[in-house]
Structure 1
Amino acid sequence: MIRVTYRIETPGDPRAMADKIAADQSTGTFTDLPAETDALRARHAARVEAVTILDPQPTPSLPEAGGPAGPVQRAEAVIAYPLDSIGTDIAALMTVTLGGVFAARGLTGIRILDLHLPPEFACHPGPQFGIEGSRRLTGVAEGPIIASIIKPSLGLTPDETAEVVRTLCDAGVDFIKDDEKMMNPAYAPLAARVEAIMPVIHDHEQRTGKRVMYAFGISAADPDVMMRNHDHVLAHGGTAAVVNINSIGPGGMAFLRKRSALCLHAHRNGWDLLTRHPGFGFDFRPYQKIWRLLGVDQFQINGIAAKYWEGDDSFVQSFADVTTPIFSEADRALPVVCSGQWGGQAFETWRRTGQTLDLMYLGGGGIHGHPGGPAAGVRAIRAAWAAASGGLSPDQAVARDADLRAAFGKWGEERRV
């Protein structure tokens, strides 16, 4: 059985609404059907397995035209769908269990909280590299993988981008990526960027023995174009790609993963449309399971004190979600801590994510904008992580390290707590 946990909000009876969803999304409709026999329902009907009544809400999340102004009733409902009715295809799963429920009349809110899949879904490939492969490709056997982004995000020519890459490599990063907005613009085509950047990566490896991983933005609406982008990166010695997962869709991701030899770094832009309203949409937990099954290796999940709207608790839960096995340890994705990160957030990140160093710590402005330059930005982040994992407080760390002290002076004296 495929089990989905929904949080239902309705002016009526949440139990009746759960029954309606189960019927509408399987064998039933608005009226009795002669062919909907007991035998057919026994094989294919979805079933409500549990309903937990929650406190009512004074006003509806999404008022229906002509509906009551409140209060509305709420419940968590677990609905089980027979595997034989859906199969293991991701498009079928999303259509039946995740997508259709939002159309039901009488709902003033519905949120998908979790998705429990049977072992048959292990037929999907999952991450090709994941946490261990990312460590192998970056040469970082232990500790956080320190990463950065090309800044400015847009506007640099291929040669100018290559100079930023040279600076970041010399600064000591382990990983560099295109911003998600950078794909194949006329002023900096992907092919030209690859041909300008990869010699810098190779030269740095020749000089230092360290191969910095670079993730190129290969996303395209046409899967054939995306694969040509992938192949160009691979032919020039690249090892990673940025994939805008919501933009290419599950079908594009499945097409890419089946043929890919690159480590796939997922950016979830557009995710906020699905989750930002607390009474409607998706929690991250069910959402990320689908993308991990499809092959995401590294997953951006914002961070502590992020520059965007998402709060710290949401980030902490997302971190736990992407590192919790679905079927095996191999299907865990590398959590990418990002969005306005600099050294100061390392302490709280360490404390709240289970004191693990299995992560990528991605600083854009937090590296490029350091008062001492990018190398000082990288040193400050490394010093912060060494201090946090060593049990030091921010104040103790700042007293010991000038680069971290400068970072706190610019971005966060108030975060020394």
Structure 2
Amino acid sequence: MPHDVIRLTYRVETPGDVDRVAAKIASDQSTGTFVALPGETPELKARVAARVVGIRPLPPVDAPSFGTPDGQVASDAGPFHRADVDIDFPLDAVGTDLAALMTIAIGGTYSIRQLSGIRVVDMALPPAFAKAYPGPQFGTSGSRRLTNVVGRPLIGTIVKPALGLRPAETAAMVRELVDADVDFIKDDEKLMSPAYSSLADRVRAIMPIVLDREQKTGKKVMYAFNISSSDPEQMLRDHDTVADAGGNAAVIAIQSVGFGGMNFLRKRSRLALHAHRAGWDLLTRHPGLGMSFRVYQKFWRLLGVDQFQINGIGAKYWEPDSSFVSSFGDVTTPMFSERDTALPVVCSGQWGGQAPETFERTGRTLDLMYLCGGGVVSHPGGPAAGVRAVRQAWDAAVAGVSLADYAADHPELAQSLAKFGGPSGDA
């Protein structure tokens, strides 16, 4: 691909002619509009107009992915023709601003009348974007360095219940988890700074436990405090509260804080930034609309996400296993260099039962964080036993031993198997 273009791939669906609709997307999203323009000269088009550079037909469908309230696309207008369409946008017309990229190349496409479905499925960016954005500050190698974990996944958990615990109650759970040698603990994405548990109070209650454990053992558990806010300056103040107390990580609800908030924070950050993607499902759950995670995650990696939550095998939410496996590959595939990859965070209803399949389907890699909420804190033997059970499950997976056999002399894993019952357990 030339270095002076941005290439978007759209999965187009229309009752009309795919070639004409593809040309309309390119025109409407660059120089054109609904009528010919006196200023739209051949020279101007050659310089800044988007161009269709590839069309790969897909099997047609009988029903439209979506209709319109005024019947512009009738459900009986089929067959509905489909294709993956590559369109190149000149870098000179878009620049490297991500808001401009989202507006020009993505935002307006969804409103084109002739479409009965439109989904952005891929995006290739030129090297200019690598120079314009900092990318991850820590990523996989930095997260391992901060936690001093090598040769196995980082084992993490989430403070549960998500809401309601006061700082002293949270700290008591943290102490038990830290003593169990967990690698990572995080605030739930729903816990920000409520009156009963302000961020400042949580930091004061939790960080002495983390630092005391580090002084005694040399290991510093990574605790990610949720500092998400619609106010970038408040988010930075909260960041400084965590960093100044000796913390090394923060949870960011990326969809909620937006590109600008994330960019503002990353340029000033001293913390590993752990991305929760709450709200992403709005953009992707409908298979004929929105965008794929492959596209979505590139924006956030450019902006500096170090750790990226991507659900997991047998997740408790809607996302199928194949989507998780694809997402794992997305965040670990360099855009420009190995430095811009993010640590994949396997989460959503995880416990030790999914470890063997996770290990196999992600290429037998150990470069991941395995994050369990209820799968740890709801263990019959308590959270510390939950941590040990998850670690035992991963030891079994790597050794190629069935969990049932490994549990014969590992009681914590045996208790997990008895409680959660199978890889689809809602933990």
TM-score where L is the length of structure 2 = 0.96
Task: Check whether the contact 1:19–1:47 (CA below 8 A) recurs between aligned residues.
Answer: yes
Task: Check whether the contact 2:404–2:414 (CA below 8 A) recurs between aligned residues.
Answer: no
Matched with 1:101 is 109
Task: Check whether the contact 1:11–1:68 (CA below 8 A) recurs between aligned residues.
Answer: no
Matched with 1:331 is 340
1:139 to 2:145 alignment: no
Matched with 1:259 is 268
Matched with 1:228 is 237
Give 1:41 deviation, angstroms.
0.3
Give unpaired runs (5+ residues) of structure 2. none
Pairs within 5 Å for 1:95-174: 95-123=103-131, 124-174=133-183
Give unpaired runs (5+ residues) of structure 1. none
Q: Distance in 2 between matches of 1:310 and 1:9?
A: 23
Matched with 1:317 is 326
1:58 to 2:62 alignment: yes
SS at match of 1:335: strand
Q: Distance in 2 between matches of 1:249 and 1:322?
A: 19
Q: 2:293 aligns with which of 281, 284, 299?
A: 284
Task: Check whether the contact 1:176–1:215 (CA below 8 A) recurs between aligned residues.
Answer: yes
**Structure 1 stretch 60-69 or stretch 285-294: which is displaced more?**
60-69
Report the RMSD for the aligned CA atoms in angstroms.
1.2
SS at match of 2:196: coil
Number of aligned residues? 416
Give 1:170 deviation, angstroms.
1.2
Give 1:380 deviation, angstroms.
1.1
Give 1:206 deviation, angstroms.
2.1
Matched with 1:403 is 412
Give 1:296 deviation, angstroms.
0.1
Q: Distance in 1 between matches of 2:271 and 2:258?
A: 18
Q: Distance in 1 between matches of 2:145 and 2:375?
A: 25
Matched with 2:253 is 244
Question: What amino acid is the match of 2:100?
Answer: A
Q: Distance in 2 between matches of 1:399 and 1:111?
A: 49
SS at match of 2:195: coil
Q: 2:355 aligns with which of 324, 330, 346?
A: 346
Give 1:205 deviation, angstroms.
1.5
Deviations 1:6-32 (A, max 9, x none): 100111111111100000000111111
1:25 to 2:25 alignment: no
Q: Distance in 2 between matches of 1:242 and 1:153?
A: 14
Task: Check whether the contact 2:328–2:362 (CA below 8 A) recurs between aligned residues.
Answer: yes
Question: What amino acid is the match of 2:12?
Answer: I
Matched with 2:365 is 356
Question: What amino acid is the match of 1:312?
Answer: D
Matched with 2:74 is 68
1:87 to 2:108 alignment: no
Deviations 1:63-105 (A, max 9, x none): 1232221331111000000000001111111111111111111
After TM superposition, the runs of 4+ consecutive aligned structure 1 residues lying more than 6 A away are none
Give 1:398 deviation, angstroms.
2.9
TM-score where L is the length of structure 1 = 0.98
Q: Distance in 2 between matches of 1:168 and 1:415?
A: 24
SS at match of 1:259: coil
Percent of residue pairs identical: 63
